[in-house]
Structure 1
Amino acid sequence: MAIIDQVKEIRRALHQNPELGGEEWETSKRIQEELQKAGIPFKTGFAKTGVLGVIEGNSEGGTVALRADIDALPILEKSAVDFKSKVDGKMHACGHDAHTSMLLGTAFKLQEMKEQLPGRVLLVFQPNEEASPIGGARPMMEDGLFDEFKPDVIFGQHVWPDLPVGQIGIRDKEMMGASDTLSFTIKGAGGHASMPHQGKDAIVVTAEFISSLQSIVSRNVNPLESAVITIGTINGGYRYNVIADQVVLKGTVRTYSQKAKDTVKRRLENLVKGFEIAYEVQIDFEYVDGYGATINTPEWAELVRGSAAQLLGEAALPEVDPSMAGEDFSRFLENIPGAFYWLGCSKEDEKAPKPLHDPEFFFDESALEVGIETMVKVTVDALKKLEG
């Protein structure tokens, strides 16, 4: 069986049997089986289900790490593919099945040409990427992922429906945003809806509070920087004629720079204090730091750009804006130089492709071969650069 056919079969099997973060036992088992069949040694037990494969070249040189995430999302699939998820409420809606199968395909090709490789390749299959703020990158490293072999550089790729198949998105610095979480519990005093003066209406306070939150970005963060504050859930109230005594809000903050993040955090704390005084309520506030911003190392981003241009042509490298979406790969980049890039995965003529995390997210499988060839090229070029 040709490698691309093998990779497609693996991808479809993984897509039909998605496992959430921390539960990827069968996915991990399949990865191990494929590595074993290819004659690639590996170690397990990193963050429970993580796997590390090792390909040794024929001569001393640098060490390149390649990473793929392996977990799925708690989403009920609504796509029309004939290999859709068999597990109700679980779906590979972020392309991690493609990432895993493409890294295996890359491993198969590199293993075939290992006699030509000047150095070592580490294959990092990471669990729990979707579970911010814990994630899987940090637990894997804490479990000794790189204790024996420390990478000189690390690369990761992510399918990207905003780009068609055959295109690569890469930036020299910011690729993805820091993803932090917020929670507010606004505690007022209940009462009868006809006598609001006897209570402290937590819903009215909430409405004012949410509006004020948005002024933090528009009037406190430098317009040349980026920040997003979004409240995703609001829960409060009992009945149409009861003054709500409590409302719980949950949301997220997205930034690229530490300066913008510090500004948002400080203003949030001050806003909470001000509302407590102005409305005579109590607001319990929690800010949880999640994944940091995914910041590429310029020299390795340039290598990816050069490798992709040689493989696919200059036209395959459009200028792209960074995304505010969070990515656990950031924690690898906090410790190791490297680059994270996007792999186009939508059909060329598709006007409105379904986005990541959508129940109808669709991945064009013709991107599998592009992803494998790009990762192989990037790896070989990086090893040559390290050798030099």
Structure 2
Amino acid sequence: MNTIKDLITSIENNIIDIRRTLHRNPELSNEEHHTSSLVKEKLSEFGIEWQDGFAQHGVLGIIKGDLPGGTVALRADMDALPIQETNDHEWVSENPGKMHACGHDAHTAMLLGAGYALQNMKKEISGTVLLIFQPAEENSPHGGSKPMMDDGVFDEYTPDVIYGQHVWPSLPVGQVGIRDREMMGASDRFKVTIRGKGGHASMPHDGNDALIITNQVISSLQTIVSRSVNPLHSAVVTIGKIEGGYGYNVIPDQVTFEGTVRTFNPDIKQLVKKRFHTIIEQTADAFEGTAEVEYLDGYPATINTPEWAQQARSTAKNLLGEDASPSLDPALAGEDFSRYLLQYPGAFIWLGTQIEDSENQKPLHDPGFKLNEKALPIGSQYLVQVALDTLLTLSKKEEK
């Protein structure tokens, strides 16, 4: 561990500089040209073999140890969000309307730092470590993980285990969040258009108010969770946007609303989806209106493999102390890493990045989001250690 720490310490300023460079120059999903170029430049500088051509801007770094063994993959996402940053630090976004408000700049920098250390430890590595730099994580429901796999990112080297790490502002620096199974939720989205008949506000009997129909539909949708889902399971139906109407004295003929459905259990997801369609169609029909539903199945739930979640937790405690991996609840936010876990065993991990002024910590996806850069070398060191520990476990299993 001292060797790993020394290697990460020697490159710590570089990790921070990479993160700040990426933060100044955020690129949205499927636009990560400069980010991808920087990744390839750094991999080459560190002497790490790489391949590209996956999901447009995806990059695969390959570190083959001098000793035989299994294959472990480490993934970082690279894209930013369409958010106007409100911070005033020196490395604030220079691209209007774009911001690394979810920490993907840190993910990329930490994985590059981990790659540097692993490359310098090749003689001691039993197996292969893959560094996955993935675009378009924020592009739900399409994402970048499936296109990368479709483009053959694992055709030559197939991971026995895969890990993803995400900054987590509610956890203090030095803590790591790991659950044995559910980590993140399935993230479906929808857009519904309710149509009635327009008219003059003073003569409602001549029209069919689409706002009234929409009101009934939205109220009824809230009964899905409260009356159709077992209280011991988790589900959320949220309406985030409503558009409709022309003026104070006009009965609208059309209203559109958008929102999201979040679940963990696939059976609950299907139950909510079925009830969602039934309620909308029947409620609109009852009020003599019509409904057009666009329902997009988003990322599946992120479900860790218990064996490798426990491995990741053991690494965290050995590296950071017995209190480094507290018990915590899952989150219903969506994550494209889930699609890797449908194909390969592994675990998704939250890295504590809470700022010292914790009362003013902004959440992920907030225009004022900040992270504590003291966590960056910890994240790099952890990625190295969990990769090595996992390769050791794979070797022991192979010997049996």
Structure 1 CA distance, aligned partners of 2:110 and 2:147? 23
The match for 1:189 among 197, 200, 208 is 197
Shift of 1:206: 1.0
Q: Residue type matched to 2:279 in 1?
A: L
For 1:18, the equivalent position in structure 2 comes to 26
Which deviations, in whole Å up to 9, do the C-alpha atoms of 1:100-138 show, x marking residues without a partner?
000000000000101100000000000000000110000
Structure 1 CA distance, aligned partners of 2:303 and 2:135? 21
Report the secondary structure of 2:154's partner residue.
coil
Structure 2 CA distance, aligned partners of 1:352 and 1:206? 37
Shift of 1:211: 1.1
TM alignment of 1:361-380, pairs within 5 A: 361-380=369-388
Structure 1 CA distance, aligned partners of 2:125 and 2:186? 35
Report the secondary structure of 2:165's partner residue.
strand
Q: Residue type matched to 2:76 in 1?
A: A
Shift of 1:318: 1.1
For 2:159, the equivalent position in structure 1 comes to 151
For 1:138, the equivalent position in structure 2 comes to 146
Gaps of 5+ in 1: none
Shift of 1:82: 1.1
For 1:5, the equivalent position in structure 2 comes to 13
Which deviations, in whole Å up to 9, do the C-alpha atoms of 1:301-339 show, x marking residues without a partner?
000000000000111111110000000000000000000
Shift of 1:269: 1.6
Is 1:80–2:91 an aligned residue pair? no
For 1:236, the equivalent position in structure 2 comes to 244
Which deviations, in whole Å up to 9, do the C-alpha atoms of 1:191-224 show, x marking residues without a partner?
0000001111001111121111111100000100
Shift of 1:183: 1.2
For 1:350, the equivalent position in structure 2 comes to 358
Is 1:295–2:300 an aligned residue pair? no
TM alignment of 1:1-388, pairs within 5 A: 2-348=10-356, 350-388=358-396
Which deviations, in whole Å up to 9, do the C-alpha atoms of 1:152-199 show, x marking residues without a partner?
000010000010111100000000000001111000000000000111
Report the secondary structure of 2:241's partner residue.
strand
**Range 210-219 or range 264-273, more displaced:** 264-273
Provide the aligned C-alpha RMSD in A: 0.9
Structure 2 CA distance, aligned partners of 1:163 and 1:290? 27
Report the secondary structure of 1:346's partner residue.
coil
Report the secondary structure of 1:87's partner residue.
coil
Shift of 1:274: 1.5
Q: Residue type matched to 2:350 in 1?
A: W
Q: Following TM superposition, where does structure 1 have runs of at least 4 consecutive aligned residues deviating by more than 2 angstroms?
A: none
Shift of 1:2: 2.5
Report the secondary structure of 1:287's partner residue.
strand
Shift of 1:348: 4.6
Shift of 1:70: 0.2
Structure 1 CA distance, aligned partners of 2:281 and 2:84? 40
Structure 2 CA distance, aligned partners of 1:310 and 1:80? 37
TM-score of the superposition, structure 1-length normalised?
A: 0.99
Shift of 1:347: 2.7
Report the secondary structure of 1:263's partner residue.
helix
Q: Is the 8 A contact 2:216 2:283 kept in 1?
A: no
Q: Residue type matched to 1:164 in 2?
A: P
Report the secondary structure of 2:66's partner residue.
coil
Percent of aligned pairs sharing the same letter: 57
Q: Residue type matched to 1:240 in 2?
A: Y
Structure 2 CA distance, aligned partners of 1:132 and 1:307? 31
Structure 1 CA distance, aligned partners of 2:283 and 2:206? 19
Structure 2 CA distance, aligned partners of 1:78 and 1:244? 37
Shift of 1:349: 5.2
Which deviations, in whole Å up to 9, do the C-alpha atoms of 1:12-63 show, x marking residues without a partner?
1000000001000000000000000111010011000000010000111100
Gaps of 5+ in 2: 1-8
Which deviations, in whole Å up to 9, do the C-alpha atoms of 1:216-254 show, x marking residues without a partner?
100000100000001111111111111000001111000
Which deviations, in whole Å up to 9, do the C-alpha atoms of 1:85-109 show, x marking residues without a partner?
0111100000000000000000000
Q: Residue type matched to 1:341 in 2?
A: I
Instruction: Name the count of aligned residue pairs.
Output: 388
Q: Residue type matched to 2:334 in 1?
A: G
Q: Residue type matched to 1:311 in 2?
A: L
